[in-house]
Chains A and B, each alone.
Chain A
Amino acid sequence: MKSKILLASKELKIYKVWKILFPFSFLLFPFCAGAQILSGEGQLHGSIEIDAQYYKPDSLIGAPAVPEKMLMNTYDELDYTNGKISAGVRYEAYDDALQGYSTLYNGSGFPYKYISYKQDNMEVTVGNFYEQFGSGMILRAYWQPQLGIDNSFNGVRVKYNPTKGVYLKGLVGDQRYYWTEGAGLVRGIDAEVNLNELDSSLANMKTKIILGGSFVSNYQASTSTTYNFPEDVGASAGRISITNGGFSLYSEGAYIINDPNAINNDIFKTGDGVLVRAGYSQKGLSFLLSGERIDNMSFKSDRAATANDLNINYLPSLPRDETYQLAQIYPYATQPNGEQGLDGEIKYKLPKESLFGGKYGTDLDVEYTVINSLDTINLNDQATNDKGYTTRLFNAGQTNYFQNLTLEIQHKFSPDFRMIAQYDHEYYDMTVIQQEPGSPNITSNIGVLDGYYSLSSAHTLHMELQGLQTAQAQGNWAFALAEYNFGPDWFIGALDEYNYGNPDPAQRIHYYTVTGGYMKNALHITIGYGKQRAGILCIGGVCREVPASDGFTLSITNSF
């Protein structure tokens, strides 16, 4: 009996070592096998990214004591290409994961490894891959390490162009869930037809038309005795893109069959979404109008998954990506259970040598976004169909989730001096967006002045002044930043984010940071020391919480 257990543990060890060694076989493969398919000289490239932080507890700002004191995330990739073959691996280590990342990431390994073969009009990838159908409303796998998101597929993908203008994709795979894989098996196909490429008589036509359609299904077994979960959840989407000179129109519609899950509180309602974007642009001027409606569109490869885990699809949100620090304090997060919104943007360049254009012209940008709830009628049908609610299609919902008006002006005064001024007026329903019941609805005004001055070809100065005024939540904030670039490879900087209007005088804190860095070719090294306020970081409507912290940071990135 004892020897059996010993054997078992030995086998386990061999299995574990094999599991670690397995990715290397991907790298060795192109070196050893298939000499005929390797043509010419192979290329080996890669990248390294290391983010480390040393943490000090700070009870005033709410920075917890971190027992390990120092934490690190690293992502290191190698890609080899030779002729028709390419292969690669990514090593990731979280020793342990930085604060704000799920502790499920703790550990290290090779979560991303692939071999791809490309010939004429066909490409086959086995292993891990990222993919997107249309605008992603029913399928998008992507990697966003800043948000801790990696929903890559592990399986097989085939891309095929049967004829000019027709692009087909098919895939089968499981999705990454930290160091394991999600419970569901995802299958998807996508077809795109470019009419102008397909029919040679349309090749020179000014109007360009592209049609696309996709179907995705997720299979997850159910053992529930309470619910009759659909084990195969299908989703379909169609899209059209029309452009004619400066005019453009893009529209996509998506539909998901009933998929009771942890996000929609296990209701048996179908999901649908629509996105429409119309624009006109000419030299120095552009208009863009977008509308979207999302109803019960959370689609994950595990019906029990929450937060950002195991998303099969991606819901494009309308608000602009704010880049200035104080404009990021109250960022919008897409509401997969339901939202509808409109976004309009006008950009205009005041011509060079005009009254306000100056020598280089002045860029004006006005954008307005409004997002509301859906207009829903509660069905109270838990005991029967359990569809939860129904909606009135063309009515705006009663609750305003988010509104933002942005005005931005960019002007270059001389070859050595340029400035950006921005004003935002924002309304933010914190209860819905940050899912914190009882939070106030926040109305804020944000002003930004951002200036760049070249002292000489190798010495430049960058300064920002920002203010946020609100009577709610943490009250007013001020922000100042100065960065000096010299060499031209070196830089130093300092910033202070000051919550001077906090209703609690003890919380009127300076969150200051000093940084220094070196940049040469693709190498980027930054060290910093300072305090980070608690908040949420959002990229493209997808967010993660960032806890308060105090301490040193080190970041290194390089490619070769």
Chain B
Amino acid sequence: MKKQIVLFLFLLFIFPTVIFAQSLLNSKVPSIQVKTVDGSTYNTSSFSNHGKPIILDFWATWCKPCIAELDAINDEYSDWQKETGVKVIAVSVDDARTMGKVQSFVKEKEWDYDIYIDPNQDFQHAMEVINVPCTFIIDGTGKITYIHNSYMEGDAKVLHAALLKAAGKK
């Protein structure tokens, strides 16, 4: 009996999610406090690129596909910036143990991105990110227009196409 009640309530729980839940697509970035690489506090509601699109990428120093994705973007970054004015914001979900590696990691990689750290995973949680890498495109009006979880070779091309669309170039 208890199992049936739980199942029933679970379905009740799923119901509003189907009816009322807005997709992350078209929603805006929530207001959460993250850290800069020098340890200062920063609010995610201040993410802005003056009307141009943003690529928001959740990554970690221990995540090989994340690094591959950020490397692949880096190879094209100057071209993409010329085309669309895009800015990449890379939010590391490294925890207490590895967050100290983030700054040196980024410098060695020569990534010219805005880097933030989410050590308590508050921002990751608010963005419903289950696994990294998870990539969002935010258009010039602040709306999320693209979500992709995971990275495989070739995904940077898909991301580029979505970026052109968000910038109104396609």
A binding-site residues for B, Cβ under 8 Å:
16-17, 20-21, 24, 27, 43-47, 49, 76-79, 81, 89, 91, 93, 108-109, 118, 130-132, 134-136, 140, 142, 167, 194, 196-197, 208, 210, 241, 243, 246, 248, 250, 277, 279-288, 290, 314, 316-317, 320-321, 323, 345, 347-349, 360-361, 363, 412, 415, 418, 420, 452-454, 456-460, 462, 485, 488, 491, 519, 521-524, 540-541, 557, 559-560
Chain B residues lying within 8 Å of A17, measured Cβ to Cβ, are 5
- Inter-chain contact B147/A522, CB cutoff 8 Å: yes
B81 contacts partner chain A, Cβ-Cβ < 8 Å: no
CB nearest neighbor in A for B152? A485
- Inter-chain contact B150/A76, CB cutoff 8 Å: no
With A522-B149, A560-B17, A560-B24 known as contacts, the answer to whether A46 contacts B128 (CB < 8 A) is yes
B22 contacts partner chain A, Cβ-Cβ < 8 Å: yes
Q: 1/0 contact trace for B8-50 toward A, CB 8 Å?
A: 0110111011001111110100110000011111000000000
With A46-B17, A347-B105, A560-B128 known as contacts, the answer to whether A136 contacts B155 (CB < 8 A) is no
- Inter-chain contact A283/B153, CB cutoff 8 Å: no
- Inter-chain contact A20/B152, CB cutoff 8 Å: no
Task: Tell me, rounded to whole Å, the shortest Cβ–Cβ distance linking A549 to chain B.
Answer: 22
- Inter-chain contact A524/B16, CB cutoff 8 Å: no
- Inter-chain contact B100/A559, CB cutoff 8 Å: no
Task: Tell me, rounded to whole Å, the shortest Cβ–Cβ distance linking A240 to chain B.
Answer: 10
- Inter-chain contact B62/A210, CB cutoff 8 Å: no
With A317-B97, A522-B24 known as contacts, the answer to whether A491 contacts B152 (CB < 8 A) is yes
B169 contacts partner chain A, Cβ-Cβ < 8 Å: no
Q: 17 extra interchain contacts, Cβ-Cβ under 8 A, other than A243-B37, A361-B110?
A: A44-B22, A76-B14, A78-B16, A79-B126, A79-B128, A142-B120, A194-B39, A196-B40, A248-B104, A279-B103, A284-B107, A349-B108, A456-B154, A488-B155, A521-B147, A559-B149, A560-B17
- Give the distance in Å from the alpha carbon of A347 to the alpha carbon of B111 in the complex: 14
- Pick the residue among A49, A194, A415 that contacts B40 (CB under 8 A): A194
- Inter-chain contact A541/B97, CB cutoff 8 Å: yes
- Give the distance in Å from the alpha carbon of A269 to the alpha carbon of B10 in the complex: 48
Task: Tell me, rounded to whole Å, the shortest Cβ–Cβ distance linking B119 to chain A.
Answer: 6
A-B interface pairs (CB < 8 A), number: 204
28 example contacts (A-B, Cβ-Cβ < 8 A) are as follows A44-B16, A44-B22, A45-B22, A45-B24, A46-B21, A78-B21, A93-B10, A108-B6, A197-B40, A208-B40, A246-B107, A248-B100, A248-B103, A280-B104, A284-B107, A286-B107, A288-B100, A345-B101, A347-B104, A347-B105, A361-B110, A363-B108, A418-B68, A488-B155, A519-B149, A521-B25, A522-B148, A524-B150
- Pick the residue among B14, B101, B121 that contacts A130 (CB under 8 A): B121
B134 contacts partner chain A, Cβ-Cβ < 8 Å: yes
- Inter-chain contact B107/A316, CB cutoff 8 Å: no
CB nearest neighbor in A for B60? A321
- Pick the residue among B9, B12, B108 that contacts A286 (CB under 8 A): B108
With A45-B27, A194-B39, A286-B108 known as contacts, the answer to whether A24 contacts B153 (CB < 8 A) is no
